[in-house]
Amino acid sequence: MRTYLLLLFCAALYGSNFVLGSLLLEAFPALHLSAYRLLVSSAFLLIYLVATRGLAKITFRDFVYLVPFVLIGMLLHQVSFFTGLQTTDATTASLILSLAPIFTALFARLFLKEPLTKRMVAGSNVALTGVFFVVGTGGRMSTAITEGVWIMFICMLALSGSMILMKKLTERMDAFVATVYTTVLGCISVYPVAVWSEPNVQLQPHFWWWVLLVGSALLIQGLCAVIWNAQIRKVGAAKASLFLNLQPFVAMILGYITLGTPISLTQVAGSVLIISGVVLATMQGQRTRKSEGDTLKISSAKR
């Protein structure tokens, strides 16, 4: 339950990232925004690592998963996320990224040999139906497939692939150490791309824009990354990704609080489906372990 609550906490902040990202794009260029947030989170994580544990050695075999994760989970994901938000509204973007659990489950079955149970499939379908309720009919989503939609689809695939790579990476090294190194290397990879694609940028944002940028970087790309990567090792990539279905629900609530966007009954119904789907899929592991435990007890008693 503690693991699920932590994943729920991360999913809530990840959901707010769509709204915060859209707001920050009003003051910062897309790729520079990504680079600045990675710089803040990298500095924080690296200082904390050095102060508490010290730098850890990285072997050549670690780079087999570290480099692909940085290229896919940091560079491709970050660039496509903020580029896509420039031409796609936060609600539509949250819908597309909510497809990540389905693709993560498929990737986990192919590459990690994680079980794909009927209950997980059913839970994913129920939650995905809720996603379409929240951001489809209720959110009046446009059915036109724009360039931004395709970019967000690439972002979703990068996110799914990164969870598989992080699962393999945390089997070789501590989850926190993996988070620090991937974030730092991600910053190093994103910044040159930002300078090359968005040259001669003159920034003059208000002080509070910088506060929002630093705060979101520390919470979403710093704290949440540490928590999320640690929990993936415990419950697996497929099951952890199911919590991403909560993102549209959070985006809807945050939009109502900050922007006054009305919430329809259809959206409420969709939110209930999302939560029900996550519960349906995640309760499977607990019941299975309990049944296995009961079976072992009965077998021991017979002996």
Percent of the chain with pLDDT over 90: 16
Q: Strand, helix or coil at 203?
A: coil
Of 46-60, 132-146, 253-267, give the lowest mean pLDDT range: 132-146
pLDDT tens sequence across 23-73: 898 888 888 999 999 999 999 889 988 888 888 788 888 888 899 999 999
Confidence of residue 138 (pLDDT cuts 50, 70, 90): very low
- Answer for the pair 128, 72: CB distance below 8 angstroms, yes or no: no
CA distance 56 to 70: 18
> Does residue 245 have a pLDDT over 80?
no
CA distance 234 to 38: 26
> pLDDT higher for 291 or 33?
33
CA distance 22 to 41: 19
CA distance 36 to 199: 15
pLDDT tens sequence across 246-257: 777 787 778 777
Q: The pTM is what?
A: 0.73
* Mean predicted confidence (pLDDT) in 203-214: 86
* Mean predicted confidence (pLDDT) in 229-235: 78
Q: Is the dihedral of CA 274, 168, 166, 74 positive or negative?
A: negative
| First and final C-alpha spacing in the chain | 33
Q: What is the DSSP letter of 173?
A: S
Report the range out of 144-148, 152-156, 175-179 with the highest average pLDDT.
152-156
pLDDT at position 211 is 92
Percent of the chain with pLDDT over 70: 83
> Does residue 125 have a pLDDT over 90?
no
Helix (H) or strand (E) holding 94: helix 90-97
> pLDDT higher for 194 or 290?
194
| Amino acid (one-letter) located at 105 | A
